Amino acid sequence: MSAKPIRDSYLPYGRQWIDEEDIQSVLNVLKGDYLTTGPAVGEFEKAIASYVGAKYAVAFSNGTAALHGACFAAGIGEGDEVITTPMTFAASSNCVLYQGGNPVFADIDPKTYNIDPRKVEELINENTKAIIPVHFTGQPADIDEVHQLAKNHNLVVIEDAAHALGATYKGKKIGSLSDMTMFSFHPVKHITSGEGGVITTNNEKYYQKLLQFRSHGITREPDKLIENHGPWYYEMQFLGFNCRMTDIQAALGTSQLKKIDNFVDLRKKYVSTYNEAFKEIDEIQTPYQDKNGISSWHLYIIRLDLAKLSVSRKEIFEALVNENIGVNVHYIPVHLLPYYSQLGYQRGICPGAEKLYEEIITLPLFPAMTEEDVTDVIAAVNKVINTYRK
């Protein structure tokens, strides 16, 4: 390949978009009375709940802590099984381990790459307590089918919607459909608070538990106290954690949320450009979209037809990096990670996800990228595929 890369500067696969308004809202908090657990957290929670159409939202220091809280609130404990997908970030199943439960991995649907409800059903037994579907890349999982299984077997559903802020399922926003839903505000996600996460729910019991969980298991609510020694009095009623969001984070989150519709629209626009550009390239499969949902496009993943290429995914990946295109791979199936192997999870339990892993590359996609950036990515993909076409 010619030595001159398509781009002079490196284009990351994802990154935040912070404007002056965001900076000002953080400055306002820094100049005010509260840095943490002040009014900004409550405002952010209200704004998120209202955006997704849920009754309650509880903010956490990050999305992983939020998932941990959700597993706690769902009552996951020693010996309980929770079914999730292997095609996700480790946090989706680590939260089950934190609670002493056992994650069980159900293979993916080969078309959508989301958890396959038929595979979930095969794995349900008397120890199963919950399902954690992940809306992989922002495309909603088969929520209705997951809910049907949950109803039949009395299971809690916690959606990992870290990729899906702004996505809809059958016309409804992700965030109010299941027992609990988690969103993450890590800088590569749709909006950011630096680090941050939230659980949205319509269930008051879960809501109360989540509030208490993120603050050591402590409550000051008079009607929840066993005793009451006076106005200073609080009770620690279970072993919680400190995983509170700061007002600094929350102010940034609230400011970012105002821009979510534009952010998602830009992602959709760049995706159409990619789809159009790649549709005639036989060696590339563009992302299939199920008709029941509208993706919020956290990630754009191409699948390579390796039979038509002279090299493996690794060489294609490296060639794109040499063009200064910040590609990535989402994800290494969780059950193949060394810690999970040590726990006894074996290669072969999710052949669909394992095969997919060998063939995928994530291309840059984020609202702050320009049309020229998109054009560069397309040019680089064309160059690399043309070089390695059989």
Dist. CA 342–CA 335, nearest whole Å: 10
Q: According to CB under 6 A, which residues from 144 to 173 bind ligand PLP?
A: 160, 162-163
Backbone angles phi, psi at 200, to 5 degrees: -105, 145
Question: CB of 319: closest distance to ligand PLP in angstroms?
Answer: 26
If one asks whether residue 256 binds ligand PLP (CB under 6 A), the answer comes out as no
Dist. CA 40–CA 46, nearest whole Å: 10
Q: Give the SS3 label for residue 311.
A: coil
Question: CB of 286: closest distance to ligand PLP in angstroms?
Answer: 21
Query: How far is C-alpha 97 from the geometric centre of its chain's CA atoms?
Result: 18
Provide Rg for the chain, Cα atoms.
22
DSSP string, 248-306: HHHHHHHHHHTTHHHHHHHHHHHHHHHHHHHTT-TTEEPPP--TTEE---S-EEEEE-G
Determine which residue in the list 40, 49, 59, 63 makes contact with ligand PLP, applying CB under 6 A: 63
Q: Which is nearer to ligand PLP, 163 or 214 (CB)?
A: 163
Question: CB of 154: closest distance to ligand PLP in angstroms?
Answer: 25
**Which of the residues 189, 224, 291, 308 is marked catalytic?**
189
Dist. CA 327–CA 304, nearest whole Å: 14
If one asks whether residue 62 binds ligand PLP (CB under 6 A), the answer comes out as yes
Question: CB of 216: closest distance to ligand PLP in angstroms?
Answer: 20
Question: CB of 66: closest distance to ligand PLP in angstroms?
Answer: 7
Q: Which is nearer to ligand PLP, 87 or 316 (CB)?
A: 87
Judge whether 209 counts as a catalytic residue: no
Of 188, 106, 118, the C-alpha closest to 352 is 106
| Cβ proximity of 313 and 358 under 8 Å | yes
If one asks whether residue 335 binds ligand PLP (CB under 6 A), the answer comes out as no
Q: Which is nearer to ligand PLP, 16 or 92 (CB)?
A: 92
Q: Which two tokens stand for residue 161?
A: 């919607």
Q: Which two tokens stand for residue 92?
A: 């989706």
Phi-psi region of 284 (alpha: psi -120 to 50; beta: other; left: phi over 0): beta
Q: Which is nearer to ligand PLP, 190 or 303 (CB)?
A: 190
Amino acid making up residue 295:
S
Backbone angles phi, psi at 370, to 5 degrees: -100, 170
Q: Which is nearer to ligand PLP, 83 or 385 (CB)?
A: 83
Dist. CA 351–CA 241, nearest whole Å: 37
Q: Which residue minimizes CB distance to ligand PLP?
A: 63
Of 289, 217, 236, 291, the C-alpha closest to 69 is 217
Q: According to CB under 6 A, which residues from 74 to 113 bind ligand PLP?
A: 88-89, 91-92
Q: Per-residue contact track with ligand PLP, 184 to 223, x per CB under 6 A?
A: x-x----------x--------------------------
Question: CB of 18: closest distance to ligand PLP in angstroms?
Answer: 17
Determine which residue in the list 74, 131, 134, 356 makes contact with ligand PLP, applying CB under 6 A: 134
| Cβ proximity of 11 and 325 under 8 Å | yes
Q: Which is nearer to ligand PLP, 90 or 311 (CB)?
A: 90
Catalytic residues: 189
Contact positions vs ligand PLP (CB under 6 A): 62-64, 88-89, 91-92, 134, 160, 162-163, 184, 186, 197
